[in-house]
Chain A
């Protein structure tokens, strides 16, 4: 599937990007919204939690190194409040330490992606893969 093609189902899907690096957040927003998804950005963990409480999302693209509440803490707090949430959680980070990866999966992350090794279009592909219930070799294996 061409990731750039507009996904007819995308219009109904809402994605929240929690990312403190503004250029990167906007880049992902640009590419992903081009494919038809509804994309919002939160620049830190606290804002992310507020936005998640205010409206529901189908997918969370979550960075880990965030000012204040970090990505893993955000996930822990969200999951403890909404243990039955069906929201897809893709960690999108440059942290590759095993302990972090392990913790992310224990907290219920759907997938773990290394930002630097993916082009924006590859990130879009992984978003599509995740909605289709598929994984690619870019997904970091649980340790």
Chain B
């Protein structure tokens, strides 16, 4: 701007200058305003950006890492604590998440430990079950097999995976000793209400198991119903005890007894044979003492022969090979003969044998040899267990379709607790075991007598009031339906003539 000269026209000039100055200043001011506005806008922009950045740093970043942590947490990849220090709700949220995570991971660890424990318990049980030598099969409520241990599979003869889920009756066939097929309802009853069908299956009786390959094994079956908890879906537990080996061992034992008795019989035959001849020869030549000696040797040898015979008979009973040959038998005559045969033995102890028979006694249907064994056994037992001077009474009475024979003594009697076991093999009453009582026996006589009487469809039993109160043995035999022997039938009641024992 140029200075304005002071001329007349100076007033005008001054005005002009003033206007120019004003205009100039105005535009200058406007420029300044414009600049200020720009600066202001820029300032606002800067502030906004700063605020945005603050939002990003304070909210979005923590949220993002929370999200990342949540994803890890969902995938189960973390058990760390989530650490955000924002001092606000996000930090609280993160803390809550951390707590949940920690709780969950603790629970998870505990559950895993318990699972391991359960698995190891399960394995332990499985090992125990599979190592049991008896076969075990468990079926569900529908009788489908849900468990079979190795021994069971060995008996069944089918691999485990083919057995599971199969119906019990499709896998095994059980038959009893009469070859009757047992239904699974008998040995594994599952219905919750007791069934009306009588249980023919007896738990302790051996049964035969036929597997799919048609192999038979003798087993003893124990079955337990485990119904009660329908959720568990358990039907019953079957335990198979294989008897094959035991049966084979028993057969060996029976064979051994059979052979041993044969070996014992050979020298006995010689002894008894020569003694008989000696006794006969000595009838007229021997002194009283010599006759007495021979008689004693003879009695002892005969007892030995009875023992050996009993052993052999027991081995026959065990094999089921003990047979009888029943025929009409004059029972009065048989009883008289038995009494006569035992008189000598009784006389040695000054015991009297009394026989009381009804006027008429029908014939019985029996095997004469076997029945004589029973009578000799019962009478000689009575003599053995009756003190000197005692009385033994033998009597018979007629029942319905049967003859009941009684042999009673006033001897040592039988304790009550011994009575149920008296007819079992090798059982002997305690006092009989006392060697000082000098009573001999093997515990086979009554067992055999019972076997013989039962083979005749009879019964044998005993009554005793107790120790020292004597005892009475009873047995029944069916009355023979054939009244008279055919005329051409050999006279079987007559005993072959024998050399009478030498009397002292």
Where the two chains meet, the residues of A that have a C-beta atom closer than 8 Å to any C-beta of B are 1-3, 21, 23-24, 27-28, 30-31, 65, 94-98, 114-117, 119-122, 125-126, 134-138, 141, 143
Contact = CB atoms under 8 A, between A and B. Distances in A.
A71 to B, nearest CB: 13
Contacts of A27: 270, 273-274, 277
Contacts of A2: 497
B312 A141 contact: no
Interface stretch (B6-14, B143-151, B261-269, B466-474): B261-269
Contacts of B308: 116
Given A121-B499, A125-B496, 12 more contacts: A24-B269, A30-B277, A95-B262, A115-B265, A117-B309, A119-B276, A120-B277, A121-B280, A121-B498, A136-B492, A141-B325, A143-B323
B305 interface: yes
A21 B309 contact: no
Given A27-B274, A94-B269, A136-B492, A119 B499 contact: yes
Residue of A23, A95, A98 most packed against chain B (CB within 10 A): A23
Interface in B316-346: 316, 321, 323, 325
Contact of B273 (A97, A114, A119, A135): A119
Interface in B471-504: 490, 492, 496-499
Interface string B266-287: 1011101110110010000000
Given A94-B265, A122-B498, A137-B492, A116 B277 contact: no
Interface residues of B, number: 29
Given A31-B277, A125-B496, A136-B496, A96 B258 contact: yes
B369 interface: yes
Residue of B269, B270, B276, B308 most packed against chain A (CB within 10 A): B269
The B interface, classified by DSSP as helix, strand, loop or mixed, is: helix
A116 B309 contact: yes
19 contacts: A2-B497, A3-B496, A21-B266, A23-B270, A27-B270, A28-B273, A94-B269, A115-B266, A116-B265, A116-B309, A119-B273, A119-B498, A119-B499, A120-B273, A121-B280, A121-B497, A126-B496, A134-B490, A136-B496
Contacts of A136: 490, 492, 496
A117 B258 CA distance: 15
A94 B274 CA distance: 17
Contact of A116 (B274, B280, B305, B496): B305
A96 B268 CA distance: 15
Interface string B407-426: 00000000000000000000
Residue of A3, A23, A114, A119 most packed against chain B (CB within 10 A): A119
B248 to A, nearest CB: 18
B368 interface: yes
A114 to B, nearest CB: 8
A85 B270 CA distance: 31
A26 to B, nearest CB: 9
Contacts of B280: 121
Contacts of B305: 116-117
A121 B276 contact: yes
A120 B323 CA distance: 26
A142 to B, nearest CB: 10
A121 B273 CA distance: 9
Given A94-B265, A119-B276, A125-B497, A137 B368 contact: yes
Interface in B45-101: none
Contact of B262 (A30, A94, A125): A94
Nearest to B263: A94
Contacts of B273: 23-24, 27-28, 119-120
A95 B277 CA distance: 24
A137 B369 contact: yes
A1 B499 CA distance: 13
Contact of A119 (B258, B272, B321, B490): B272
A143 B319 CA distance: 14
Contacts of A114: 265
B336 to A, nearest CB: 17
Contacts of A65: 262
A137 B277 CA distance: 23
A115 B269 contact: yes
B178 to A, nearest CB: 22
A1 B272 CA distance: 23
A16 B151 CA distance: 59
Contacts of A141: 323, 325
Contacts of B258: 96-97
A119 to B, nearest CB: 5
Contacts of A120: 273, 276-277
Interface in B204-220: none
A1 B265 CA distance: 28
Interface in B273-315: 273-274, 276-277, 280, 305, 308-309, 312
A23 B490 contact: no
Task: Please list the 8 inter-chain residue pairs (A to B) with the smallest Cβ-Cβ separation, ordered nearest first.
Answer: A116-B265, A94-B265, A125-B496, A27-B273, A119-B276, A23-B270, A115-B269, A120-B273
Nearest to A99: B321
A21 B270 contact: yes
B112 to A, nearest CB: 68
Interface string B217-234: 000000000000000000
A123 to B, nearest CB: 8
A142 B146 CA distance: 53
Nearest to B321: A98
Contact of B268 (A98, A116, A126, A138): A116
Contacts of B496: 3, 121-122, 125-126, 136, 138
